Amino acid sequence: MGWFLEHAWLIPAIPGAAFALIILIGKRMPRGGSEIGIASMLAALVLSAGAAYQWIEHVNSSDGEAEAVLNRWEWFRIGDLKVSIGSHLDGLAVMMLLLVAFISTLVQIYSTEYVRGDRRYTHYFASITLFSAGMLVMVLAPNMVQLLLGWEIMGLCSFLLIGHWWEERVNSEAALKAFWTVRVGDMGLLVGIAMLLSIFHTLEIGEINEAAASGDFDSKRLLMWAAVALFIACIGKSGQFPLHTWLPDAMAGPTPVSSLLHSSTMVVGGVFLVARLYPVFHVGLDMNILGQHFNLIAVIGGITVLIAAGLAFVQNDIKRVLAYSTVSQLGYMMMGLGVGAWTAAVFHIFTHAFFKCCLFLCAGSVAHTGSHHSFDMKKDMGGLRKSMPITFAAWIASTLALCGIPFVSGFFSKDEIIDSAKHNDYKVFYLVGIIGAFMTTAYMTRATYLTFFGKARGAAAHFVHELEHEHKTTHDSPWPITVPLVILGLLAIFSGYLNAAPFKWHWFERWTESAIGLPLGEGIFALPHPPEFSWTSAAPGLVLVAAGFAVSLLLCRAVFGSETSPLRGLTERNIALRAGHKFLVNKYYLDALYEKVIVHGIAYPISRAAYWTNQHIIDAVVNTVGKAGRRTGDLVYKYIDQLLVDGAVNGSGTTARGAGGALQPVQSGKVNMYGALLFGAAAVGGLVLVLVNS
């Protein structure tokens, strides 16, 4: 089969071992342990590339479906249930392994410059290495227990990394918010796994998918609830509505963490779970019924596309714009899975990773070099395109991909999702897709204008002034930052050609199709064939993309570039616009609902009940025990210590003193008296012997 495929378990094992080494000896290494993390990710990347190459050979040599490569060892046993650990390799897993290893390597190289001199430099690299290892463990999982292990490793590491600078309260609160919000969803994963075990009597993913696709199970209703429970976990992990609120707050962590978290790990985990267990969701939620225009996954994904894009318009923090963009694009992926466009949704995971990672790293580059560590676009950016040309070029390439401009990567994946929604009779979600494309282009045009065009403001103005004073025109970030930007910018443009429908290039589809039990259109698990590409079908979306750019550019120039524009301050003068703007700024009041209603309504009564219990029950018991102990101590002191113990000691002392006084005359110091006493004692002894022996 191939050495790399047979030994794929090494891919997560090496970063996992590197984490332990960084913790143990990282601080004694010349580069603080970062060299261990980078070396481990490079090793994982080489192994992943080898596995990808051998998988493609395996697919090309297969007459029909390319079977998954399984390597499993018994982990533990509970009664008749055997739980294994190992690797499950198919096209989906190989794609994710290569993606995670590649992005993680670039992010770690970038981090050596970005967090240089950080007070927890070593711990940062330990956590980010384990973070990638957790994602790799989940991707390779042959069963639900190993998947849960990788899932929870990522949850722990995201908490550590988001709260990396925990001394600032906003950062620690963001870490706690992310941890607890995702934990709410994770309850669904535990319940869903239990239901799958009850239905299929196994936890092996391949066996579960096969049984679900063939209809070889007893309870259709229980499968539906299992799919719902699992999808709740995906909602939390992938920031879908209504559990998306933690994701923008996660920007409190270092920018490389934001880049990795939002591109190829953590938030992609929920989408990956739906893709991996697609037969379970497809059959459980009746997605194969002809004429069905809605299902849970499509509805949640569609809502997420629009609500997140709307919030991106009112953000001043560049990272928060990108965070809401990520939420919106994750909505596209979920919507694609919901409308039956499995390949397009998975391909969007692939292309999105490159351009979104690049955009976050560009934001970090601007903050690191051009805006004095500020992420406020209105206050500290503007006019940086000439001063930071490499960062600007990478940003533009990635923005074009995100907006779905023809012939760059995002177009090939996102357009197929939108086209599939129309082709598969999900017309509402087709409209959602093209409206979302308009909104994406509009808010990214705004972010681009505020960051790189117009007049430099605040810290950016100071940066440009310093360059002019030094007679320089450009000063981009150091090479550990710019080299990853160039690589990712190129991939943002060209990665889409692996599955370019306009040119009838379908390599990605060929390499990954066996992961969902094709051939298409057979049995209870019947998927529609992908639609043929046509420019006529793509035209409405492209028109809206162009309109989004034009409208947003005109508004930006009017609002941010002209002091006399009547549009400036319009949201303050117009009641309706002010109310709408306030509604968006307050994030649809979902945080207020969660924190002031739900948390206040649940946590506060619990805390008050706990306080009352502490004061009136626990403290009462403790105080009673204390008082009883004090009284017991008083009694022991008075009667046992003073009367009995001290009395016995004092009595023995008095007796000894009296005896000593009585014997004192004997100790006279006169030899004749001692002789008389000795003679008398000998006489008494002799008399006793005579009496005893007579």
**CA nearest neighbour of 196 among 165, 223, 232:** 223
Report whether 162 contacts 247 (CB < 8 A).
no
Longest dimension (CA), the chain: 142
- Closest by Cα among 262, 314, 309, 346 to 545: 309
Which tokens sit at 361? 């790293």
Three-class secondary structure of residue 265 per DSSP = coil
The domain total for the chain is 2
* 361 and 401 within one domain: yes
- Euclidean distance between the first and the last CA atom of the chain, given in angstroms as a whole number: 111
Helix (H) or strand (E) holding 88: strand 81-89
Task: Count the Cβ atoms, other than its own, within 10 Å of residue 117.
Answer: 6
Joined tokens for residue 333 = 């992926």
Q: CA angle, corner 488, sides to 482 and 489, nearest 5?
A: 85
Domain membership flag for residue 48: no
Q: Are 466 and 496 found together in one domain?
A: yes
| Structural domain contains residue 682 | no
**pLDDT, position 521:** 45
The one-letter code for the residue type at 64 is G
Q: Looking at residue 654, what is its pLDDT?
A: 74
Phi, psi (deg, nearest 5) at residue 157 = -65, -35
The H or E element containing residue 304 is helix 296-312
Tokens linked to 141: 């999982």
**Helix or strand or coil: residue 203?**
coil
Are residues 503 and 608 part of one domain?
no
Rounded-to-integer distance, Cα 622 and Cα 619, Å: 5
605: Cβ contacts below 8 Å, ≥ 6 apart: none
Does residue 480 sit in the same domain as residue 528? yes
Residue 549: name the closest of 439, 398, 463 by CA.
439
Q: Is residue 55 part of a domain?
A: no
Per-residue pLDDT, 290: 52
Nearest to 235 by CA among 270, 210, 287: 270
Answer yes or no: do 354 and 484 share one domain.
yes
555 and 605 in a single domain? The answer is no
Does 366 map to a domain? yes
CA atoms within 13 A on the CB side of 197: 15
Residue 84's H or E segment, with its range, is: strand 81-89
Task: Give the C-alpha separation, 185 to 482, whole Å.
Answer: 37
Do 513 and 600 sit in the same domain of this protein?
no
| CB-based contacts of 472, cutoff 8 Å, min separation 6 | none
DSSP-based three-state secondary structure for 500: coil
How many other C-beta atoms lie within 10 A of the C-beta of residue 459? 19
The reported pLDDT for the residue numbered 323 is 94
Backbone φ and ψ of 668, nearest 5°: -90, -25
Residue 515 placed within a domain: yes
Is 167 within a domain? Answer: no
CA distance 533 to 420: 10
What is the structure's pLDDT at 519?
47
* Cβ–Cβ < 8 Å for 331, 462: no
- Rounded Cα gap, residues 170 and 158, in angstroms: 15
Q: Are residues 610 and 508 in the same domain?
A: no
Asked whether residue 547 is assigned to any structural domain, the reply reads yes
> Does residue 42 fall inside a structural domain?
no
Please, is 561 exposed, middle or buried when counting C-beta atoms within 10 Å of its C-beta (0-12, 13-18, 19+)?
middle
CA dihedral 423, 425, 427, 429 (to 10 degrees): -80
609 and 560 within one domain: no
Q: What is the DSSP string of 92-143?
A: HHHHHHHHHHHHHHHHHHHHHHHTTT-TTHHHHHHHHHHHHHHHHHHHH-SB
* pTM to 2 decimal places: 0.86
* Whether the Cβ atoms of residue 475 and residue 467 lie closer than 8 Å to each other: yes
Residue 382's Cβ-count burial label (10 Å; 0-12, 13-18, 19+) is buried
Q: Minimal CA–CA distance to 427: which of 298, 322, 563?
A: 298
CA atoms within 13 A on the CB side of 384: 38
- Report yes or no: 367 and 251 within 8 Å, Cβ to Cβ: no
**Rounded Cα distance, 273 and 276, in Å:** 5
pLDDT averaged per 10 residues, the chain (length 694): 90 96 94 94 97 93 81 88 91 95 96 92 95 95 94 93 90 90 91 94 91 84 94 93 90 91 89 94 78 85 95 93 95 93 94 95 93 91 92 96 94 93 91 95 95 92 89 88 96 95 92 71 67 89 94 90 76 84 86 79 79 86 87 82 76 71 63 74 80 71
Rg of the chain taking only CA atoms, in angstroms: 36
Q: What is the dihedral of CA 142, 148, 150, 156, to 10 degrees?
A: 180
Q: State the residue range of the domain holding 603.
A: 594-636
Shared domain check, 620 and 562 = no
| pLDDT confidence of residue 520 | 47
How far, in Å, CA of 507 to CA of 632, rounded? 84
Residue identified by tokens 């490389």 is 256
Task: Looking at the structure, tell me whether residues 405 and 553 fall in a common domain.
Answer: yes
Query: 614 and 571: one domain?
Result: no
Integer CA distances (angstroms), 516 to 91, 225, 416, in order: 10, 21, 18
In whole angstroms, give the CA distance from residue 262 to residue 354: 11
How remote is the C-alpha of 104 from its chain's centroid? Answer: 14
